[in-house]
Structure 1
Amino acid sequence: MAVWTFSCWSCRQETEMEDKVMRDNECPHCRLDMRSCKNCQYYDPGAHNDCRETIAEYVPEKERANFCGMWTAFQGERDPGEDINAAKAKLEALFKKK
């Protein structure tokens, strides 16, 4: 089986994978669920149900493992704009009292 690289949405660390991602797999670096909406190539905040796949069922918890039949591991470079800590820092700076 071919080896491929999995990149976690949360910690951005890469993990070499030999098999497909199962529902109970966790990122070895941050221990978050690997098979979550935020690690799917169809995840798109702002799209209907935050998903570009139109036939996917609604998944309320985007950071938790799910049974979505359309789930496909995200491949490619992560947008640095997705960084949660950077977004929080910008919001804090915006609303900071002087």
Structure 2
Amino acid sequence: MCYKCGALLAYDYRPGFNDTCDRCGKDLHVCLMCRFYTPGAHWDCRETIEELVADKERRNHCDFFIISEKYLDKGRTADSKQSDEAKRRFNSLFGE
């Protein structure tokens, strides 16, 4: 999902350097969405980057970037969420 608006991203999605969120337009190849982003680490990164990336919300060309698992949809697509909502409404008709 997008770190800013929460728009779903497919489980196998890998953001390119210039990819942006379809919903809010924010950059997706950013430190905040990287698995190596660790506030408090040297330059907030667990990798051995050569220079500081000051703005963690702007696109960068870091070759170490791997999207963090917490931003990927692990099988819960919009369709399955809508299905869950339909089931909840159906069950509420019978007091369940």
Aligned residue number for residue 51 of structure 1: 45
Q: Could you say what secondary structure the match of 1:14 adopts?
A: coil
How far the C-alpha of 1:20 sits from its partner, in A, is 3.0
Query: Which has a greater percent of helix?
Result: 2
Percent identity, aligned pairs only, is 32
Return structure 1 stretches of 4+ with deviation > 4 angstroms: none
1:56 maps to a residue whose letter is I
Q: Counterparts of 2:13 and 2:70 in 1: how far apart (Å)?
A: 18
Higher relative strand content: 1
SS at match of 2:69: coil
Task: State TM-score, norm by structure 1.
Answer: 0.62
Unaligned runs of 5+ in 2: 73-96
Structure 1 residue aligned with 2:68, among 52, 69, 74? 74
User: How many residues align structurally?
Assistant: 71
- Report the Cα distance in structure 2 between the residues aligned to 1:17 and 1:59, rounded to whole angstroms: 26
Quote the offset at 1:16 in angstroms. Answer: 2.4
Go from structure 1 to structure 2 and tell me whether the alpha carbon gap of 1:77 and 1:23 turns closer, same or farther (over 3 Å shift).
Answer: closer
User: What residue number does 2:25 align with?
Assistant: 31
Larger radius of gyration: 2
Unaligned runs of 5+ in 1: 1-6, 79-98
